[in-house]
Structure 1
Amino acid sequence: MIGPLAWAWLQFALLALLIGVGGYRLTREADAIAEALGLSRTWVGVALVATVTSLPELATGITAVTVAQAPNVAVGNALGACVLNLAFLAVVDLLVRGNPLYRQASQSHILAGAFGAMMFGLVGVAILLGHAAQRAGGPPAWLQAVMPGIGASTPLLLALYVVAVRAVFLHERDTQSGGAARVADRARARVDDRARARVAGHVLRFAIAALVVLLAGMRLPFVATEIAQTMGWSRSFVGTVFVSAVTTLPEMAVTVSAVRIGALDMAIGNLLGSNLFNVAILAVDDLFHPGASLLAEVSVAHATTAGFAVAMTGLAVVGLYYRPQGRLLRAVGWVSIGLVALYALNVAAVALYAG
């Protein structure tokens, strides 16, 4: 007879397998769509693939602030997934062959990273100001009248996300020149003349794979929470470390699959684009959160995670701009080692100080 905890772990393994298979198919179809339509792999990773793989975080966050009434799980899940995505760049660096990751990747990712750092900083400031306002008796009356029930950061985060995705698209379009632009034009012509049915097939298979990843990813957090509660961990720690690791499995599966088929820019774009979407999820969670501002009610420990996310994003941007050559033991670069070290420090800080 299988016990409840063993059954939960068995469900976890089966759902993870579904996400792995679906993520691989998702990446192959996204790459085919990008090639057929002449789209940049960077933008496809940031906007299309990242949005799909982050849907489990969206579903988990809305469920946490409404049904479960666990805002710390929602915020910890979104921010924890972001720092885990950044740490996962070290795995990508380990998997790529030849030059280090940061010498092969497009510098267009710097733009997505810069927007991500801005959004993380805004979240950290919103958490700290929200707690300061509570100690002072609440936010100003005029602010409550203008935006009742939501934080001032919510519309800013949503606007920044839209601007970021559009900026990456325009940058990729403007950087296409000469041969690249002609290849894109020929690809669009092929779509117009002969390949509509083929593109439609890729889109249909992409949608099916996305549905598999979404459904499995939505179920995983409940299984993970059941396991974590048995361990007696705090909700902030569970959200930041455990649930985020579970809901980030789609990003991991898709990223590894993209590296294996040689779509490195799609892999990096997926991770950085997922971070943009995950922060925007916090704004959506705030819209569903009953009562006052979501970020004003959660543990201050989440501001620490936001700060580490800023530092890790900055380090990744340095690597993308500086393009270091050396690798430790011919395996990973120093930027990747720094990302893993910062992630470990964040986990330790949340474990020690989260309530």
Structure 2
Amino acid sequence: MSNAWLIWLEFSLCAMLIGLAGTQLCRYANIIADKTGLSGSWIGLILLATVTSLPELITGISALTLANVPNIAVGSLLGSCIFNLVILVVLDYLVRGESLYRRASPSHILSAGFGVILIGFVGLNVLLVDKASFNIAHIGIYTPAIVLFYIVAMRALYIHERARVKEFVEKVTDRYPNMTLHQAYRRYLLSALVVIATGIYLPFVGTQLAEVMGWHNTFVGTLFIAGITSLPELAVSIAAFRMGALDMAIANLLGSNLFNILILALEDIIYLSGPLITYTSPLHAFSALSAVIMSGIVIVGLVYRPSTRLFISIGWVSLSLFTLYLLNTYVFFLHGGE
């Protein structure tokens, strides 16, 4: 029992470090982008998107190359997609007066739609991996398809959202007029090192947690690791909301889901044993399907723009998202070891 408490303590420490360092990482990335003249360009946006997903990226690489637990690598990414959509429930609770989806711009339908396609494509490949598998060397044929479609999606979103993204980045970076570029670089590097070190160690803690609790790596990766690596998205989204940038908070979450699928393609490239999906549990298809349905619910909310709220604080869209999250958790708890 003492060993279990020690592992839970290590797990909690990892969560705290990634949550704090990941949030600071995003902050200093904004400052660097502004002071180097990148804030209004596509380069600056890519820098920020990469930084917010650094915990997922580092944890996945460590899970595959050092810990050799592919179920944690894939589960943390798909689980993070679900967790990001649950953060919308938190934002809906924080919005007062009317529904989140009534205030949000309908333009988010585009990124949510791309998310449905990319996540659904991964789920389809998980289901078909034993029935129709086409490989290129050690990677699956799905990897170049994901990379190509991600580039198309980012180009379309950038053209569609250029004006508002530029306005938001300028608003964020204006909050830090007293920090020099040298200070920003130094603190950015320090925060990145903390995230990298914690991300490398996290899969090992997850494996120990699975062993001591009698759980499967699929369950731990999809629920616990995914929750930890999504903490920066949670903090950044709440910070954006408090600044009055609700649309950027939503865009951050839906955009992170797209980048998570790109990370899965990158992990497939570095995993030399063969196509990554063939070494993981077919239960990941359920996570992908849950994320697709949740993204569809978000699209319905953005189109329908409901004005009524249930239980005073949240609407039926958020209630549906949270219910699906609980269902996904329950299914993985029951069948995560199969």
Aligned partners of 2:23 and 2:232 also within 8 Å? no
Q: In the TM superposition, what is the alpha-carbon distance from 1:255 to its structure 2 partner?
A: 2.3
Written as runs of structure 1 = structure 2, the 5 A alignment for 1:1-355 is: 3-29=2-28, 47-133=46-132, 139=133, 143-144=134-135, 147-173=136-162, 208-354=190-336, 355=338
Aligned partners of 1:23 and 1:250 also within 8 Å? yes
Counterpart Cα distance in 1 of 2:33 and 2:109: 21
- Structure 1 residues 198 and 18, CA, compared in 2 at 3 Å: closer, same or farther? same
Aligned partners of 2:58 and 2:196 also within 8 Å? no
Aligned partners of 1:120 and 1:309 also within 8 Å? yes
Aligned partners of 1:255 and 1:268 also within 8 Å? yes
Write out per-residue CA displacement over residues 86-110 of structure 1, whole angstroms, 9 at most, x where no aligned residue.
Answer: 1121011112333321122222322
Counterpart Cα distance in 1 of 2:182 and 2:140: 41
Counterpart Cα distance in 2 of 1:38 and 1:101: 30
Aligned partners of 1:76 and 1:302 also within 8 Å? yes
Counterpart Cα distance in 1 of 2:44 and 2:239: 12
Q: In the TM superposition, what is the alpha-carbon distance from 1:204 to its structure 2 partner?
A: 6.1
Aligned partners of 1:126 and 1:296 also within 8 Å? no
Write out per-residue CA displacement over residues 253-277 of structure 1, whole angstroms, 9 at most, x where no aligned residue.
Answer: 2223332333322322221121111
- Structure 1 residues 44 and 329, CA, compared in 2 at 3 Å: closer, same or farther? farther
Counterpart Cα distance in 1 of 2:120 and 2:155: 20
Counterpart Cα distance in 2 of 1:318 and 1:127: 26
Write out per-residue CA displacement over residues 135-154 of structure 1, whole angstroms, 9 at most, x where no aligned residue.
Answer: xxxx4xxx54xx12211111
Aligned partners of 2:126 and 2:277 also within 8 Å? yes
Which ranges of structure 2 fall in alignment gaps of 5 or more residues? none
Letter in 2 for 1:96: V
Aligned partners of 1:27 and 1:257 also within 8 Å? no
Aligned partners of 1:46 and 1:273 also within 8 Å? no
Count of residue pairs the alignment pairs up: 332
Aligned partners of 2:18 and 2:228 also within 8 Å? no
- Structure 1 residues 210 and 113, CA, compared in 2 at 3 Å: closer, same or farther? farther
Q: CA RMSD in A?
A: 3.4
Aligned partners of 1:56 and 1:218 also within 8 Å? no
- Structure 1 residues 21 and 64, CA, compared in 2 at 3 Å: closer, same or farther? closer
Q: In the TM superposition, what is the alpha-carbon distance from 1:306 to its structure 2 partner?
A: 0.9
Counterpart Cα distance in 1 of 2:24 and 2:282: 39
Which ranges of structure 1 fall in alignment gaps of 5 or more residues? 134-138
TM-score (norm 2): 0.84
Counterpart Cα distance in 1 of 2:28 and 2:277: 37
Counterpart Cα distance in 1 of 2:47 and 2:107: 16
Write out per-residue CA displacement over residues 66-98 of structure 1, whole angstroms, 9 at most, x where no aligned residue.
Answer: 333322222111111111111121011112333
Aligned partners of 2:58 and 2:199 also within 8 Å? no
- Structure 1 residues 299 and 49, CA, compared in 2 at 3 Å: closer, same or farther? same
**Equivalent residue number for residue 136 of structure 1:** none
Aligned partners of 1:129 and 1:296 also within 8 Å? no
Counterpart Cα distance in 2 of 1:288 and 1:222: 19
Letter in 1 for 2:306: P
TM-score (norm 1): 0.80
